[in-house]
Structure 1
């Protein structure tokens, strides 16, 4: 089956979030999520937002009614003594990590629906593959591929 006829898959973000949450909790640490509070659908108390982001403790002892479905992260928590319902669309979750160790993962960015896939925008040729010479002339050395920086950021 060719890549162009491959069926569309659901987002991997909710699965990664649930797995990493379980990993952090199983190791006796406190799971925190970094959220892009500027994304549509994010419902968090305004006073918790700093520079368009918010870090939330999602440990069982800090929240009630925690659900992580394929669309959003939802829970109830107390902020300044007042219980509030929090809704975070999966696309707004930037990272999940353990507070004590900082270990965790930045979740991969997703392309909006209707945009070309990431495979179409990036070179998928293995780095060990040799460039094929053109049929109409002698082989030339391939230009050096552009250097790409990492997409992860250190969150403090």
Structure 2
């Protein structure tokens, strides 16, 4: 089975932005598998500054992007499955790359997941709000689009 090139492209563009003095941003499709501050989510999307200056403990693995960042002055953990990244771009130039939203593979759902108390609390909250575990949320339609964030 071939592994996805998506995490490699994200890491490469993140490095290019950093080396060029640009600020890397990602656009994320928010689902039940993401842990982001929900109050900043609009139309199931969130735009995140993923520069080293804006994050702590940044990790871009083949499965997910995780870090801590300040939102409204409060440090919060962020966890984004690679499949939920819609694009990565440089804030200053808008240059970057868009991606398809990919469903989380079954192996990731059944395999061991590193424990993150914030993710566990967020997941428990979401399941309680929905009343049913495993309820599918609508996926975005059409092509991903980039926005200039000022």
Q: Normalized against structure 2, the TM-score is what?
A: 0.69
Give unpaired runs (5+ residues) of structure 1.
1-7, 115-149
Aligned residue for 1:70? Answer: 62
Partner SS, residue 32 of structure 1? strand
Deviation at 1:16, TM superposition (A): 0.7
CA RMSD of aligned residues (A): 1.9
Describe the superposition over 1:41-96 as per-residue Cα deviations: whole angstroms up to 9, x where unpaired.
10001111011100000111100000000110000001111111000000100000
Contact 1:13 1:108 in 2 (8 A): no
The 3 A distance-change label for structure 1 pair 27 and 83 is: same
Structure 1: 4+ residue segments shifted above 4 A: 108-114
Aligned residue for 1:126? Answer: none
| 21, 24, 33: which one aligns with 1:31 | 24
Deviation at 1:108, TM superposition (A): 4.2
Greater CA radius of gyration, 1 or 2? Answer: 1
Contact 1:73 1:88 in 2 (8 A): yes
Aligned residue for 2:2? Answer: 9
Report how many aligned residue pairs link the two structures: 113
Distance in 2 of aligned mates of 1:93 and 1:42: 10
Distance in 1 of aligned mates of 2:70 and 2:34: 17
Distance in 2 of aligned mates of 1:112 and 1:42: 11
Give unpaired runs (5+ residues) of structure 2.
107-141
Partner SS, residue 101 of structure 1? coil
Describe the superposition over 1:107-152 as per-residue Cα deviations: whole angstroms up to 9, x where unpaired.
24547759xxxxxxxxxxxxxxxxxxxxxxxxxxxxxxxxxxx945
Distance in 2 of aligned mates of 1:112 and 1:92: 8
- The question of 1:97 aligning with 2:79 is answered no
Q: Normalized against structure 1, the TM-score is what?
A: 0.66
